[in-house]
Amino acid sequence: MKESFIRTRVANGVGEVQLDRPEALNALNPSMIRDMHAALLQWRTDPSVTAVLVTSRSDRAFCAGGDIKPARDAVLSGAFDAVRESFAAEYRLDELVATYPKPYLAVLDGVTLGGGLGISVHGAVRVVTERASFAMPETALGFIPDVGSSHFLPRLRGTAVRCDAVGMYLGVTGARIGAGDALAVGLATHFVPRDRVDDLVDRIRAGDWQAALDEFVSPAPESELEKRFADIETVFGDGTVDEMLDRLAATDAEIDPEWAERTHAALRAASPTSVRATVELLRRGAESTLEECLARELEVAVRISAVPDFVEGVRAVLVDKDRSPRWSPPRVEEVDPATIAALFG
């Protein structure tokens, strides 16, 4: 019998999924995606289940994304049908979360990357602690932000403002943000201090999730990202990747020079092909439904996995872990527009 990396239980009307692959920071492998999808499907029509709770048994992470190394192995062996099915299964799970007819709550205490957002951000309630950190790091892997991020990143909202420039910034640079930042732009919905989150979860398990939130939710931490909204809008609000890089490198720009230098370096370190593809993906996603975004992401994901940067990026970050990818081409300016056009069919 194969080992299961998720645990499920139903009590007091609450169906709970616990992610239990701590040695991999709960990175979603195919069996986890399959088992979680099956549980959610069963509970969707089960009258004894009135809400779903997703938690982690790791003390370091909620979910570090999808386990993308098997996809790399499939690419290297030429098994692109397996690559497609791997991504398709994950996106089906994300869409199920987004369309779930019952309250869906996720408790995010620790690292939440890529696919971890796919199984949380699309749900109704996303509780974070001060230990939560978020990123869509795919451009560093020679890949594209997926799991529906081309829908939610262009639709981030801050206090009375649309934060689509923030979504572009997060998508192309892979910048990591904290709990206060996630709350400021709508990736998270509630804040509970770490020393109270176990009590919160126990109260939710007791069957009254709304009362649990009313009792344990605290004011949101300060957001450093929010302080950068003006700079981010100046750089990432419109234009091409080349223009974004020029704005970051301009010595007379009215933006914080230290932030500009860090962001410029991050953008230059990412896969040039992935950066250009991500800009196009998010621009199209801003005008598309979630269903359309997921369908488009699937096609681009399969096609970009055949581009050399995908195999190289996963090698550098997750296999050899030397963090020294050799991109082809090495600079954004050298990416052939026909390559990007081909990714979008």
pLDDT digits (tens, 9 = 90+) for 215-270: 999 999 999 999 999 999 999 999 999 999 999 999 777 899 999 999 999 999 99
Using a 10 angstrom Cβ sphere, with 0-12 exposed, 13-18 middle and 19 or more buried, the burial of residue 322 is: exposed
pLDDT value, residue 251 = 76
**Backbone torsions φ then ψ of 117, nearest 5 degrees:** -75, -35
Tell me if residue 142 is catalytic: no
Q: What is the pLDDT of residues 192-218, one digit of tens each?
A: 999 999 999 999 999 999 999 999 999
Q: What share of residues in the chain are helix, strand, coil (percent, to 5)?
A: 50, 15, 35
Q: How confident is the model at residue 4 (pLDDT cuts 50, 70, 90)?
A: confident
Arithmetic mean of pLDDT over the chain: 96
Question: Quick one: angle between helices 164-173 and 229-236, nearest 10?
Answer: 80
Task: Show Cβ contacts of residue 3 under 8 Å, excluding neighbours closer than 6 positions.
Answer: none
How high is the pLDDT of residue 158?
Answer: 64
What local confidence, expressed as pLDDT, does residue 159 receive? 52
Question: Picking from 108-122, 245-259, 327-341, which range would have the lowest pLDDT averaged per residue?
Answer: 245-259
Q: For residue 133, is pLDDT > 90?
A: yes
Residue 196 or residue 1, greater confidence: 196
CA-based nearest residue to 123, from 133, 131, 112: 112
Q: Which of 95, 146, 164, 233 is catalytic?
A: 146
146 as an active site residue: the answer is yes
pLDDT at 277: 98
pLDDT band at 160 (very low <50, low <70, confident <90, very high): very low
- 84 φ, ψ (degrees, to nearest 5): -60, -45
Provide the pLDDT confidence category of residue 172 given band limits of 50, 70 and 90.
very high
The rounded distance, in Å, linking the Cα atoms of 272 and 330 is 7
Would residue 333 show up in a list of annotated catalytic residues for this protein?
A: no
pLDDT over threshold 80, residue 161: no
Q: Which uninterrupted H or E stretch holds 16?
A: strand 14-19
| 66: number of Cβ within 10 Å | 29
Whether 320 is catalytic is no
92 pLDDT above the threshold of 60: yes
pLDDT band, very low/low/confident/very high, at 106 (cuts 50, 70, 90)? very high
Which residue in 301, 284, 270 sits closest to 94, CA to CA? 301
3-state SS, residue 180? helix
C-alpha atoms less than 13 angstroms from C-alpha of 337 in its C-beta half-sphere = 3
Bridge-partner residues for 161, per DSSP? 158
Phi-psi label, residue 125: left if phi above 0, alpha if psi -120 to 50, beta otherwise: beta
Among the listed residues 16, 109, 138, 181, the single catalytic one is 138
pTM of the model: 0.96
Mean pLDDT of 148-156: 96
Stretch among 77-81, 137-141, 247-251 having the lowest mean pLDDT: 247-251
pLDDT in the model for residue 164:
85
pLDDT at 2 (0 to 100)? 62
Contacts with 141 (C-beta within 8 Å, 6 or more apart), sequence order: 68, 271, 274, 310, 313, 314, 317, 318
Locate 335 and state its tokens: 């990416």
Catalytic residue among 15, 16, 65, 66, which?
Answer: 66
Point out the catalytic residue in the list 15, 65, 110, 115.
Answer: 115
pLDDT at 1: 47
Least confident of 111-120, 191-200, 253-262, 310-319: 253-262
